[in-house]
């Protein structure tokens, strides 16, 4: 009876096992066919999308149609459609009325997505599940059409002839092995049953057992073998436990290193996007999230084209994918219209490679190059302006000098005027070169300040004396406002004199005749304050933020008609900054300007001398 129950149990287990095996085999084959279909669809649609649109209308059309027709008849491809940028079909291969059964939303998504897309849908009025693959055609960076292909996954029979044969063979071997194992185990356990029975007799009836009974049954050898097996299992368990600890440690190290890599990417001052081979985003750093104004869960595992929404960058990436074996440019400059600042970015593409798999992903970087472009523009502007500022006086000097050397000027007064002009232009060149040299030294940090105790009244009077002659020529009145006692300064008196003369000189230059200038020295807390106020042309709202920029000059005709290099206020600002001071300016067009220089004063007062 016991043997019958065991036999029935073995039979039931075999039937269940064969069923599970068949089901697993069916699922595995289904997954394998689906994976093959996806690879084939992606490859075929990408291959066709490399053709320009003219190939679907010209002499190569027949070749393309013939090739696709072979797939339609033999490889599960039920339709192949090529549409132009307006959605009109240029080429259509399909079984009967298949195209009419394609849902509209499937077609629309294929026509408007910028990258490779895979959709699964059921045809209208049928239970057929169709896999559609679509990819845009780009020419000259612009989308010119779309390739769409639909594949029907053939059904897999659960009880095909091959599968029935395989299951029959498996059942035969499984049943045979089960019978052999059953009888083998029965024979192997028989000595243990005898040992168990002998011990029971000892415990219950106290029947003595002779050592010979163990020897005859091989009990000693069996027990010894069992003990050895137990020790071997224990050793194996300890080894597995040690390996598990080692693997856990390695996993922790890998997780820590991965976290560190992500932290490093987040700390980089430019955008990083990592995608898989299907252009789905696998990682994005914080800089790029801020740039796109998106959250991480809105980006991860989403298609790159949908997240960026930037046609120029998408077209560049598609072009690079098609040309990745060539030597084409691997970067472009791009801007994001949604950014008000108009910043420029250098977008570059590189590929991730595995040890055996080849290309496994992409890395797209976005570097902000706005500062570099601004610096480059400033460099060109600097060269252009300094060339002009140097050539203008040199041309005048050269022309006047040639005329004087050739005795073309007989009038003594005119000769004196020419000599004065040459002298003025030479002084202008000297001043320009000195200003350039001082600004260069300041920017390089090599300007040495010769600081000493400076009397503010001396600085005030000396600066005023320098510009009084020019003011008198234009009949400009300069009002002096001085304190009762004069604060002393610890500064480089020559450089401070240059700074204040630049402010006063500009006031005289850009104030019309019969104008008025106020030059004032006051104290406030720990600062000596020099203020220059005029009723001249003033500075526009647009020009005001740039008055301290090198070579910047207003476009106001009243300003441009005056000679000037655009370096004076830039140098003044740097000199004041080097002395720990501040400079401010307030101005309105046609209402004059007000400049204020605040300099730290020295504790010791010298008084007026």
pLDDT tens-digit map of 442-469: 766 767 778 889 888 888 998 898 889 8
Residues 41 and 10 in one domain: yes
Token readout for 210 is 């002779």
Helix 456-473 vs helix 493-509: angle between axes, to the nearest 10 degrees? 30
Residue bearing the bigger pLDDT, 374 or 84: 84
pLDDT in the model for residue 521: 93
pLDDT in the model for residue 34: 82
Contact 145, 83 (CB under 8 A): yes
Question: pLDDT for 364-378, tens place per residue?
Answer: 899 888 888 877 877
3-state SS string over 285-335? CHHHHHHHCCCHHHCCCCEHHHHHCCHHHHHHHHHHHHCCCCCCCCEEEEE
Residues 6+ apart with CB under 8 A from 104: none
Token readout for 165 is 């044969």
Residues 494 and 399 in one domain: no
Residues 291 and 390 in one domain: no
Q: Tell me the C-alpha distance between 33 and 453, whole Å.
A: 91
Mean pLDDT for the chain? 80
Residues 425 and 468 in one domain: no
Provide the domain count of the chain: 4
Q: Which of 155-169, 265-279, 331-345 has the lowest mean pLDDT?
A: 155-169
- % of the chain exceeding 70 in pLDDT: 82
Per-residue exposure over 532-550, b if at least 16 CB sit within 10 Å of its own CB, e if not: bbbbbbbbeeebeeebbeb
Residue bearing the bigger pLDDT, 84 or 393: 84
- Is the pLDDT score of 361 beyond 80? yes
Residue bearing the bigger pLDDT, 609 or 80: 80
pLDDT in the model for residue 189: 61
Q: State the Cα angle at 307 between 306 and 309, rounded to 5°.
A: 65
Residues 431 and 528 in one domain: no
Q: What phi, psi does 490 have (nearest 5°)? A: -105, 100
- Among 150-154, 234-238, 557-561, name the most confident range: 234-238
Token readout for 175 is 């049943």
Residue 233 falls inside a structural domain: no
pLDDT in the model for residue 607: 47
Residues 7 and 129 in one domain: yes
Please report how many Cα atoms fall inside a 13 Å half-sphere around the Cα of residue 414, on the Cβ side.
9
Residues 407 and 486 in one domain: no
Q: Tell me the C-alpha distance between 74 and 84, whole Å.
A: 27
Residue by residue, DSSP assigns 13-27 as: HHHHHHHHHHHHHHH
| Residue 496, burial from CB neighbour count under 10 angstroms (0-12, 13-18, 19+) | buried
Q: What is the CATH number of the domain that holds 274?
A: 3.30.450.20
Residue where a domain stops, chosen among 341, 368, 395: 368
Residue where a domain stops, chosen among 368, 399, 432: 368
Residue bearing the bigger pLDDT, 327 or 362: 362
Tell which residue, 542, 539, 551, 548, has the closest CA to residue 589: 539
Radius of gyration, alpha carbons of the chain: 46
Contact 91, 61 (CB under 8 A): yes
Residue where a domain stops, chosen among 391, 422, 442: 442
Residues 468 and 574 in one domain: yes
Residues 403 and 304 in one domain: no
Residue 250 falls inside a structural domain: no
Q: State the Cα angle at 160 between 155 and 164, rounded to 5°.
A: 145
Residues 21 and 144 in one domain: yes
Residue 214 falls inside a structural domain: no
Residue 228 falls inside a structural domain: no
Residue 164 falls inside a structural domain: no
Q: Tell me the C-alpha distance between 12 and 23, whole Å.
A: 17
Q: SS3 of 482, please?
A: coil
Residue bearing the bigger pLDDT, 181 or 89: 89
104: domain range?
Answer: 2-152
Q: Tell me the C-alpha distance between 296 and 282, whole Å.
A: 10
Q: Which residues make beta-bridge pairs with 523?
A: 528
Residues 325 and 344 in one domain: yes
Q: Which of 163-177, 309-323, 335-349, 428-442 has the lowest mean pLDDT?
A: 163-177
Residue bearing the bigger pLDDT, 536 or 194: 536
pLDDT in the model for residue 478: 93
Question: pLDDT for 122-142, tens place per residue?
Answer: 888 888 788 999 999 888 878
Residues 6+ apart with CB under 8 A from 566: 385, 549, 550, 551, 552, 553
Residue bearing the bigger pLDDT, 284 or 556: 284
Q: Tell me the C-alpha distance between 266 and 384, whole Å.
A: 40
Distances (CA, A) of 560 to 87, 132, 563, 565, 570: 58, 67, 7, 10, 17
pLDDT in the model for residue 511: 92
pLDDT in the model for residue 139: 85
Residues 388 and 310 in one domain: no
């Amino acid at each position: 009876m016991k043997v019958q129950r065991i036999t029935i149990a073995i039979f039931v287990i075999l039937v269940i096992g064969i069923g599970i095996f068949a089901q697993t085999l069916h699922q595995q084959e289904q997954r394998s066919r689906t994976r093959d279909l996806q690879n084939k669809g992606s490859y075929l649609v990408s291959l066709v999308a490399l053709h320009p649109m003219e190939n679907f209308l010209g002499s190569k059309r027949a070749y393309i149609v013939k090739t696709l027709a072979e797939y339609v008849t033999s490889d599960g491809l039920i339709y192949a459609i090529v549409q132009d940028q307006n959605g009109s079909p240029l080429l259509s291969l399909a079984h009967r009325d298949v195209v009419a059964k394609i849902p509209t939303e499937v077609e629309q998504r294929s026509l408007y997505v910028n990258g490779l897309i895979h959709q699964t849908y059921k045809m209208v009025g049928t239970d057929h599940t169709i896999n559609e693959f679509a990819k845009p055609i780009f020419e000259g960076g612009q989308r010119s059409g779309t390739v769409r292909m639909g594949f029907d996954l053939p059904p897999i029979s659960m009880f095909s002839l091959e599968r029935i044969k395989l299951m029959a063979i498996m059942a035969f071997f499984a049943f045979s092995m089960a019978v052999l194992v059953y009888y083998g185990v029965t024979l192997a356990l028989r000595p243990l049953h005898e040992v168990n029975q002998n011990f029971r007799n000892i415990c219950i009836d106290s029947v003595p057992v002779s050592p010979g009974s163990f020897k005859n049954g091989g009990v000693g050898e069996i027990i010894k073998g069992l003990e050895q097996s137990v020790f071997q299992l224990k050793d194996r368990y300890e080894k597995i436990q040690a390996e598990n600890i080692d693997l856990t440690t390695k996993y922790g190290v890998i997780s820590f290193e991965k976290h560190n890599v992500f932290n490093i990417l987040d700390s980089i001052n430019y955008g990083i996007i990592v995608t898989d081979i299907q252009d789905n985003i696998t990682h994005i750093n914080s800089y790029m999230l801020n740039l796109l104004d998106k959250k991480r869960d809105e980006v991860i595992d989403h298609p790159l084209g949908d997240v960026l929404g930037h046609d120029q960058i998408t077209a560049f990436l598609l072009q690079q994918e098609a040309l990745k074996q060539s030597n084409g440019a691997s970067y472009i400059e791009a801007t994001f219209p949604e950014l008000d600042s108009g910043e420029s970015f250098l977008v570059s593409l590189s590929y991730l490679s595995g040890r055996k798999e080849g290309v496994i992903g992409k890395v797209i970087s976005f570097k902000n190059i706005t500062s570099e472009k601004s610096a480059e523009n400033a460099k060109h502007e600097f060269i252009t302006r300094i060339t002009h500022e140097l050539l203008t006086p040199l041309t005048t000097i050269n022309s006047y000098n040639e005329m004087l050397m050739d005795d073309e000027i007989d009038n003594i007064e005119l000769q004196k005027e020419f000599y004065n002009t040459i002298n003025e232009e030479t002084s202008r060149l000297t001043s320009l070169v000195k200003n350039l040299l001082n600004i260069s030294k300041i920017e390089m940090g090599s300007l040495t300040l010769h600081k000493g105790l400076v009397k503010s009244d001396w600085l005030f009077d000396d600066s005023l004396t320098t510009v009084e002659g020019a003011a008198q020529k234009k009949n400009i009145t300069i009002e002096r406002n001085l304190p009762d006692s004069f604060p002393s300064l610890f500064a480089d008196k020559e450089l401070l004199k240059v700074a204040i003369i630049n402010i006063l000189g500009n006031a005289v230059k850009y104030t019309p005749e019969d104008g008025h200038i106020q030059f004032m020295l006051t104290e406030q807390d720990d600062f000596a304050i020099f203020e220059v106020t005029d009723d001249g042309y003033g500075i526009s709202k647009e020009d005001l933020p740039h008055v301290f920029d090198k070579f910047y000059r207003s476009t106001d005709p009243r300003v441009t008609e005056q000679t000037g290099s655009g370096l004076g206020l830039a140098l003044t600002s740097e000199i004041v900054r080097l002395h720990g001071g501040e400079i401010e300016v307030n101005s309105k067009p046609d209402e004059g300007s007000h400049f204020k220089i605040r300099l730290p004063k020295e504790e010791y007062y010298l008084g007026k001398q």
